């Protein structure tokens, strides 16, 4: 079975359980690729975004959980041109996502009452290819996801099972012929230590997902 | 998967299920364990709003009627049911509130109801806890409305008929293999001297008892006046009893 099929089946499975899922997700601002990123939205925050627009977290994520941050620091952390950053900040201030303070010697801003629009971010990986590399990717994303799981369309050997379980990752056996995802080892529930990057992931995934929903007939 | 906890309330008409749901919500808000709470009034004769002190501005039934008419008249244009459902959710300071209401039109609603069920399940998944107040009777169980649910609380007032209804609900849930993980009987408005009788009747009914909400003058007066139950005095005996029930429910519950 190809990795494409496995990823698509996994995303469909999670979508059917209320998650907003995205296959082959590149974490913004990095070159880290996640096979399936799935987020479980929170109603109030999702509705707020439908009214006011989504938070431009590509620029604002350094502000999350950080208090006042100078514009220079945002430009440095995001890597975007200063003009673009200034334009986005001005718009975000207009939409009441941030407070802007034009103090000397340089302007600064802070995010207002920000709450990520998701209660969970689950990262799933196809375990059949380049497993070691995917474990490294997962390590690089530590603190910005709630659970991680590896999906295999076959039974795992004991050593790999122990390695993955030891890292707190879940192990899911996909039975292709039955369309069943069987949770063999439940994923450990982790604390979010990097709220900025967590927000970045969930805002991006939800933003893309919600516009698909608007295409429903009923 | 991180499933929301779902506590559903049912029982014979007038057995105190809406009061029980309101007291449990008051206890939950004081406890603060759950961050995002959705309260659903699934009783066609919606009156949970009164005990919560929230005026009803829109119901799901109205949204369903509107969408069905739009589909008939304008080839699908108009607000989608999912978004209408979301708009119907009222945001209180500490919880969200959804009134199901009922549809008013005649004819086939199957397609719209099917879409509604799916949207409702997706919507419930967005919360940490869902409280669902069902209407009296057994019909909603036959329709398999409101599933999945982890805990079903059957309210019983001090009457033999109330226990008979509880027994029938329990039998129906088992016959239909409805996916409740736990079913509890709760005594409502029992005088202290009759509490032993409640536990005895619960044993005879073969349903595990969670505890008793005592008869309380303040609760009765508020219900009579149409005042809310969320602003009860923290030392109110009925509220304290609800806190005790909640303690048992949360401590013994399935992992979320």
* A36 located within any domain: yes
Between A18, A147, A218, which is nearest B67 by CB? A218
Which DSSP category does B60 fall into? H
Q: Which residues of A touch B36 (CB under 8 A)?
A: 42-44, 119
Nearest CA in chain B to A147: B1
Domain of residue A79, residue span: 56-111
Q: For residues B102 and A152, which has the higher predicted lDDT (pLDDT)?
A: A152
In a domain, B255, yes or no: no
How confident is the model at residue B143, as a pLDDT? 61
**Pair (A41, A146) in one structural domain:** yes
Task: Indicate whether A134 and A179 sit together in one domain.
Answer: yes
What pLDDT shows up at residue B72?
A: 81
Residue B59 lies in a domain: yes
Q: Classify residue A26: in a domain, yes or no.
A: yes
Residues A189 and A101 in one domain: no
Return the pLDDT at B44.
78
Q: For B115, name the nearest residue in chain A, comparing CA atoms only.
A: A218
Of the candidates B2, B76, B123, the beta carbon closest to that of A43 is on B123
- Residue B130's contacts (CB-CB under 8 Å, 6 or more residues apart) are B4, B5, B6, B7, B37, B38, B39, B40, B124
Taking residues A156-164, report their average pLDDT: 93
Residue ending a domain, among A72, A94, A111, is A111
* DSSP-derived 3-state class of residue B159: coil
Using the beta-carbon criterion (under 8 Å), do B115 and A218 form an inter-chain contact? yes
How, if at all, do strands B96-99 and B90-91 pair?
Answer: antiparallel
- Tokens (6 digits) for B99: 């009134």
**Radius of gyration, CA atoms only, chain B:** 18
Burial of B194: CB neighbours in 10 Å, binned 0-12, 13-18, 19+: middle
Q: Out of A19, A47, A119, whose CB is closest to B36?
A: A119
Asked, for residue A89, whether it belongs to a domain, the answer is yes
State residue B1's pLDDT score.
Answer: 59
For residue B256, what pLDDT is reported?
A: 45
ipTM confidence: 0.79
- Last residue in a domain, options A111, A135, A150: A111
Report the half-sphere exposure of B186 (CA within 13 A, side-chain side). 35
pLDDT digits over B188-209, tens only?
999 989 999 999 999 999 999 9
| Whole-Å CA distances, A130 to A125, A136, A155, B217 | 10, 10, 17, 68
Q: Based on the fold, state whether residues A29 and A121 are members of the same structural domain.
A: yes
Q: How many domains does chain A divide into?
A: 2
Burial B81-104 (b: 16+ CB within 10 A, else e): bbbbbbebbbeeeebbbbbbbebe
Q: Does some domain include residue B173?
A: yes
The phi-psi region of residue B77 (left if phi > 0; otherwise alpha if psi is between -120 and 50; otherwise beta) is beta
Residue A93 forms contact with B (CB below 8 Å):
no
Write out chain B residues lying below 8 Å of A41, CB-based.
126
Q: What is the pLDDT of residues A43-97, one digit of tens each?
A: 999 999 988 888 898 899 999 988 999 999 999 999 999 999 999 999 999 988 9
Contact A43 B125 (CB under 8 A): no
Nearest to B145 by CA among B209, B105, B102, B185: B102
d(CA A8, CA A180): 13
Inter-CA distances, A72 with A62, A65, B210, B246, Å:
11, 18, 59, 51
For residues A124 and A107, state if they share a domain. no
Structural domain tally of chain B?
1
With beta carbons under 8 A apart, name residues in chain A contacting B94. Answer: none
| One domain, residues A77 and A133 | no
CA dihedral B104, B105, B106, B108 (to 10 degrees): -110
pLDDT-derived band at A158 (thresholds 50, 70, 90) equals: very high
Q: Residue B41 and residue B89: Cα distance in Å, rounded?
A: 11
DSSP letter string over B64-108?
A: HHHHHHHHHHHTT-S--HHHHHHHH-EE-SS-EEEE-------S-
Within a domain: residue A218?
no
CB atoms within 10 A of CB B155: 28
With respect to residue B145, please indicate whether it lies within any of the assigned structural domains.
yes
Query: Picking from A14-28, A119-133, B71-85, which range would have the lowest pLDDT averaged per residue?
Result: B71-85
Average pLDDT over residues A91-118: 91
Q: How far is A182 from chain B (nearest CA, A)?
A: 12
* Cβ neighbours around A175 below 10 Å, total: 11
The mean of the pLDDT values for chain B is 88
pLDDT at res. B155: 96
pLDDT at B116 over 90: no
Burial of B159 per CB tally in 10 Å (0-12, 13-18, 19+): middle
> What is the spatial distance between Cα B66 and Cα B63, in angstroms, rounded to a whole number?
5
Q: Does residue A110 belong to the interface with chain B, where contact is any CB pair within 8 Å?
A: no
CA atoms within 13 A on the CB side of B166: 33
If you average pLDDT over each of B108-122, B132-146, B206-220, which comes out highest? B206-220
Which of A28-42, A134-148, B102-116 bottoms out in mean pLDDT, i.e. has the lowest? B102-116
Nearest CA among A148, A144, A137 for reference residue A193: A144
CB B221 within 8 A of CB B247: no
Alpha-carbon distance of B23 to B28, in angstroms, equals 9
Give the pLDDT mean for B88-112.
84
Verify that A125 and A209 share a domain, yes or no: yes
CA distance A157 to B68: 54
CATH of the domain at B40: 3.40.50.300
A126 and A202, same structural domain?
yes
Q: In CATH, what number is assigned to the domain containing residue A40?
A: 3.40.1350.10
Check residues A27 and A53 and name the one with the higher pLDDT: A27
Q: Which of residues 29-88 of A touch B (CB under 8 A)?
A: 40-44, 46-47, 50
**Cβ within 8 Å of B, A 166-195:** 189
* B179, part of any domain: yes
Q: Is A16 an interface residue toward B (CB < 8 Å)?
A: no
- d(Cα B61, Cα A54) in Å, to the nearest integer? 30
Identify the CA nearest to B48 among candidates B100, B122, B119, B124: B100
Tell me if A40 is assigned to some domain.
yes
Q: Both A134 and A208 in a single domain?
A: yes
| Interface touch A216/B82, C-beta < 8 Å | yes
Contact: A217, B76; criterion CB under 8 Å:
yes
Residue B95 within a domain: yes
Final residue in a domain of this structure, among A69, A93, A111: A111
- Other CB atoms within 10 A of residue B243 CB: 17
CA distance A129 to chain B (A): 24
Integer Cα distance of B18 and A158 in angstroms: 52
The CATH number covering residue A91 comes to: 1.10.10.10
The pLDDT of residue B3 is 78
CB contact under 8 A, A40 and B126: yes
Tell me what pLDDT residue B2 has: 67
Range of the domain at B110: 5-250
């Amino acid at each position: 079975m190809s990795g494409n099929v496995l990823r698509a089946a996994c995303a469909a499975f999670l979508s059917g359980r209320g998650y907003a899922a995205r296959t082959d997700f590149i974490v913004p601002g990095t070159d880290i690729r996640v096979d399936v990123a799935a987020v479980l939205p929170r109603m109030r925050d999702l509705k707020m975004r439908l009214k006011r627009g989504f938070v431009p977290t590509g620029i604002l994520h350094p502000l999350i959980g950080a208090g006042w941050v100078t514009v220079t620091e945002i430009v440095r952390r995001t890597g975007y041109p200063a003009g673009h950053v200034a334009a986005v900040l001005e718009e975000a201030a207009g939409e009441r996502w941030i407070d802007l303070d034009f103090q000397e010697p340089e302007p600064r801003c802070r995010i207002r009452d920000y709450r990520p629009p998701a209660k969970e971010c689950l990262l799933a990986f196809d375990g059949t290819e380049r497993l070691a590399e995917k474990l490294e990717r997962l390590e690089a994303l530590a603190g910005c996801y709630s659970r991680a799981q590896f999906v295999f369309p076959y039974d795992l050997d004991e050593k790999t099972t122990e390695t993955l379980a030891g890292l707190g990752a879940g192990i899911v056996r996909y039975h292709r012929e039955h369309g069943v995802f069987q949770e063999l080892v439940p994923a450990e529930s982790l604390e979010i230590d990097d709220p900025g990057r967590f927000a970045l992931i969930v805002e991006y995934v939800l933003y893309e997902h919600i516009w698909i929903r608007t295409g429903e007939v009923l | 998967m991180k499933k929301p906890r779902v506590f559903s309330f049912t029982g014979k008409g007038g057995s105190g299920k809406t009061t029980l749901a309101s007291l449990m919500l008051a206890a939950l808000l004081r406890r603060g364990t759950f961050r995002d709470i959705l309260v659903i009034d699934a009783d066609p004769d919606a009156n949970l709003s009164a005990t919560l002190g929230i005026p009803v501005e829109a119901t799901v039934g109205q949204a369903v009627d509107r969408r069905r008419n739009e589909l008939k008249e304008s080839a699908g244009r108009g607000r989608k049911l999912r978004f209408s459902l979301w708009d119907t959710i009222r945001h209180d300071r500490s919880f969200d509130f959804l009134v199901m209401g009922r549809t008013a039109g005649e004819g086939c609603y199957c397609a719209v109801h099917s879409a509604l069920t799916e949207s409702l399940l997706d919507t419930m998944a967005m919360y940490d806890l869902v409280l669902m107040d069902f209407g009296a009777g057994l019909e909603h169980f036959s329709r398999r409305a409101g599933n999945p649910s982890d805990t079903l609380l059957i309210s019983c007032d001090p009457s033999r008929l109330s226990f008979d209804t509880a027994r029938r609900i329990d039998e129906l849930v088992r016959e239909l293999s409805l996916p409740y993980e736990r079913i509890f009987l709760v005594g409502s408005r029992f005088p202290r001297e009759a509490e032993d009788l409640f536990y005895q009747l619960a044993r005879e009914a073969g349903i595990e008892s969670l505890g008793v909400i005592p008869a309380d003058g303040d609760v009765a007066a508020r219900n009579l006046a149409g005042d809310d139950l969320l602003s009860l005095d923290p030392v109110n005996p009925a509220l304290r009893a609800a806190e005790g029930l909640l303690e048992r429910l949360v401590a013994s519950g399935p992992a979320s």
